[in-house]
Amino acid sequence: MMRRWTFAQRVSAGLSACLFAGLLLLATLLSAVYAQASMPPGHGALPQAVLAGLLGLACVAALGFVLHRALAPLHARHQSSEQHLQLLMDGVTDYALCFLDRHGRVTAWNAGAERLTGWSEVELAGRDADRIYPVDEVAAGVPRAHRERAAREGRLLAEGWRVRRDGSRFWAETLLTALYDAHGRLRGFVKVTRDITERRRMERAQALFAEAGRVLQPLSGAREVGEALTRLCVPEVADACILFLPSEDGTVRPHAVACEDIAATHRMWEPLLRCPEDGEVGPSRVVRTGRSELLPELDLARLPPALEGSAHGELLCALGVTSALTVPLAVGSRVLGALCLLSTGTHRRFGEVDRAFMEELAARAALALDNARLLAQAQDALELIGIAAHDLGNPLSSLQLRLRRLSMQSAGTSDTRLREGLAGAEGETRRLGRLVHNLLDLSRLSAGRMVLDTEPLDLAHLVREVVERHRDQASAAGCALSIRAEEGATGQWDRQRLDRVVTNLLSNALKFGRGHPVELRVQADPHCVRFAIRDGGIGMGVEAQQRLFHRFQRLHAGGQHPGTGLGLYIVRQLVEAHGGTIHVQSRTGEGSEFTIELPRRTNKASCSVNEAQV
């Protein structure tokens, strides 16, 4: 199809028409003269014909002169504008700049468009620009819809996949602007396109890193982490993803698999179930060396010699892989596994940027896997502690009863050393009993097996019982105990767990408030019951208060105040399991006051403590 005439071409055509009309008049005049000359004398009107012809020729010449004088500056300015536009289009190489007519056919195509898409202006001039869109989008009418929207709104900014001449894809940002004439009629469009594949890759990387932190962080099992990691990579990063982990016998085996094509998943398992040998290429080598492996382009008809006959090569052929990337999951110098990413189409080729990106993601996933391993080991250790604490409970109770019986029998004797020894032994067994109960509670809390056995309970009565059991310990510590309890401090609570709460707080007050009075208060209102215990001991600073209720936190190290750092942690967990709160007010050298608020009826939802809460 012929391209539109430019303004300069139209002016030249007008001047050429005037010149042609003048030539016709001149030819007519000469013809009339010749005809008159061939006639006999006295026939015709030569002077009148010549005069009319000269007059017409003069008019045409005058018209041509006026047109030339009037339109020559416009012609020159228009020619200059076209030259500037052409220079601009040729000078812009980072952007694809093209002009379209109102039907979407190419009328101008710059060097940047040729560099970006691989199509030359000669190949696309007068043809539809839709061929740079993916086939499915063209079938869906996306290019036409973009032009219609740009015609309505004046301009349209869009992003999407575009196709180069060689079939490869790139992510493009396109600005489509409609062009109108002086009468408001649509003349065509100007399209500016740039390749933002790398920018989108970085945005996807940031989003994927954030998603990986959100998905992988709360998981507690290696299998859960592996399955979440492979699902995270498909289809965002790869068409298929396989996580390989070393087994107990040292061989590297598949641990988790994700594939965009469900049918391809079934084809994967036969080569996957074969043991990946430790060859020159493959996940076994990546695990062994700790170095990533990149196969940017694969021709399955001519596999590299290292892949021929191998299980990894069979896997690549079974899936029709065109590009592959395997990165190690390493924590420090330890390699925990390998993540294999596979591409089965022409739209994705892994490169060095993908290698760096996936190595960073694999490092974060390796931390999640290592944390899951450590958590599993910690849970096994806590379960062992719980079993040991449970087994120690019965002989410890028997020992406490025997010591109590001996203490009662020695009360009437005059052997002071015997009575003091029995009292000391009884105090140590009580401390050992608190430690055993704390370890048992810690094991249950960490395993999520803490379930409250609630019953109607008078908190004031419970506090008095605990105080009576600690009278001897308070006397030995030089602490005077006082109780102020209001009536009606009842609620639906777990007696055994609240007994442990009051016991731990009272023991803590006697240990750090040695030589000072200890005051216990119980207050009640229609909605909750408050229990407070205050000592006048060494107290603590603000920084210590912030970590006071954390696990294994000891604020006063050394042998003067022995402990495990579990008592207040267990107290907080048990109080929160009842739906209550605990807080402390303290200053260094002025003692401490712990206050607990308990709702009168424990919420059923809070009767079990799960692992996430711990």
The pLDDT > 90 percentage for the chain reads 19
Mean pLDDT, rounded, of the chain: 78
Tokens 């004797």, located at residue: 413
Distance in angstroms (rounded) separating the CA atoms of residues 509 and 571: 14
Reduced to 3 states (helix: H, G, I; strand: E, B; else coil), residue 133 is: coil
Q: How far is CA 480 from CA 475, 508, 518, in A?
A: 7, 15, 6
CA 99-169-166 angle, 5° bins: 80
**Dihedral angle, C-alpha 352, 356, 359, 363, nearest 10 °:** 180
Tokens of 92: 């812009």
Q: Which residues, 6 or more positions from 144, have their beta carbon under 8 angstroms from its beta carbon?
A: 104, 130
The percentage of residues in the chain with a pLDDT greater than 70, rounded to a whole number, is: 71
Q: What are the structure tokens assigned to 179, written together?
A: 């062009």
Reference 190, options 253, 231, 129; nearest CA is 129
Stretch 265-279: mean pLDDT: 66
Q: At 392, which amino acid appears?
A: L
Region 492-518: mean pLDDT is: 89
202 versus 144: the higher-pLDDT residue is 144
Give residue 258's pLDDT. Answer: 87
Q: At residue 138, does pLDDT exceed 70?
A: yes
d(CA 561, CA 483): 25
- State yes or no: pLDDT of 611 exceeds 50: no
Give the Cα separation of 251 and 556 in Å (integer): 49
Residue identified by tokens 């839709």 is: 130
Mean per-residue pLDDT for 548-558? 63
| CB 492 within 8 Å of CB 602 | yes
Nearest to 326 by CA among 300, 299, 288: 288
Burial of 449 (0-12, 13-18, 19+ CB in 10 A): middle
Residue 422 predicted with pLDDT over 80: no
Residue 220 confidence (pLDDT): 59
Q: Which of 111, 107, 128, 130 is nearest to 120 (CA)?
A: 111
Using CA atoms, how far apart are residues 416 and 207, in angstroms rounded to an integer?
A: 74
More confidently predicted of 335 and 70: 335
Tell me how far apart the alpha carbons of residues 511 and 562 are, in angstroms, rounded to a whole number: 9
Sign of CA dihedral 605, 606, 610, 614: positive
Residue 178 has pLDDT above 90, yes or no: yes
Instruction: Compute the distance between CA of residue 313 and CA of residue 298 in angstroms, rounded to an integer.
Output: 11
pLDDT of residue 446: 64
**Helix or strand (DSSP H, E) at 502:** helix 495-512
Q: For residues 564 and 47, what is the distance between their CA atoms, to the nearest angstrom?
A: 134
Cα separations (Å) of 129 from 144, 268, 347, 384? 10, 40, 20, 71
What is the spatial distance between Cα 156 and Cα 148, in angstroms, rounded to a whole number? 10
Q: What is the reported pLDDT for 149?
A: 93
pLDDT the model gives residue 3: 47
The stretch 553-582 carries a mean pLDDT of: 72
Smallest CA-to-CA distance from 609 within 445, 365, 402, 442 is with 445
What does 181-203 look like in DSSP terms, one character per residue? Answer: -TTS-EEEEEEEEEE-HHHHHHH
Looking at residue 304, what is its pLDDT? 81
Choose between 578 and 380: higher pLDDT: 578
Q: Give the mean pLDDT of 156-160.
A: 92
Output the pLDDT for position 581: 93
Half-sphere exposure of 129 (CA within 13 A, CB side): 32
Cα–Cα distances (Å) from 163 to 107, 114, 117, 549, in that order, read 20, 12, 7, 60
Split at pLDDT 50, 70, 90, the class of 613 is very low
Residue 189: pLDDT above 90? yes
CA distance 303 to 407: 86
Tens of pLDDT, residue by residue over 354-397, are 888 889 888 888 888 888 777 777 776 666 666 666 566 667 77
- Which residue matches tokens 């936190």? 553
Q: How much is the average pLDDT of 256-269?
A: 76
For range 492-506, the mean pLDDT: 88
What is the average per-residue pLDDT within 411-438? 73
Of the candidates 66, 80, 67, the one whose C-alpha atom is nearest the C-alpha of residue 6 is 80
Q: Whole-angstrom Cα distance, residue 395 to residue 269?
A: 55
Summarize the confidence of residues 477-489 as an average pLDDT: 90
Average pLDDT for 249-277: 75
* 126-135, 318-327, 529-538, 547-556: the lowest-pLDDT one: 547-556
Rounded mean pLDDT, 526-541: 90
Both tokens of 144, joined, read 């036409």
Which band of pLDDT confidence, cut at 50, 70 and 90, is reported for residue 531? very high
Question: Of the spans 112-121, 145-154, 451-460, 494-503, which averages the highest pLDDT?
Answer: 145-154
The tokens describing 200, both together, are: 């989108």
Q: Give tens-digit pLDDT for 10-41.
A: 656 666 666 666 666 666 666 666 665 665 55
Q: What's the pLDDT at 306? A: 79
For β-strands 518-524 and 490-494, DSSP reports them as unpaired
Query: What are the backbone angles phi and psi of residue 6, rounded to the nearest 5°?
Result: -80, 170
The pairing of strands 186-195 and 518-524 is: unpaired
Model confidence at 602: pLDDT above 80: no
Contact criterion met (CB below 8 Å) for 548 and 592: no
Alpha carbon 439 to its chain's center? 38
Helix axes 567-577, 495-512, angle to 10 degrees: 150
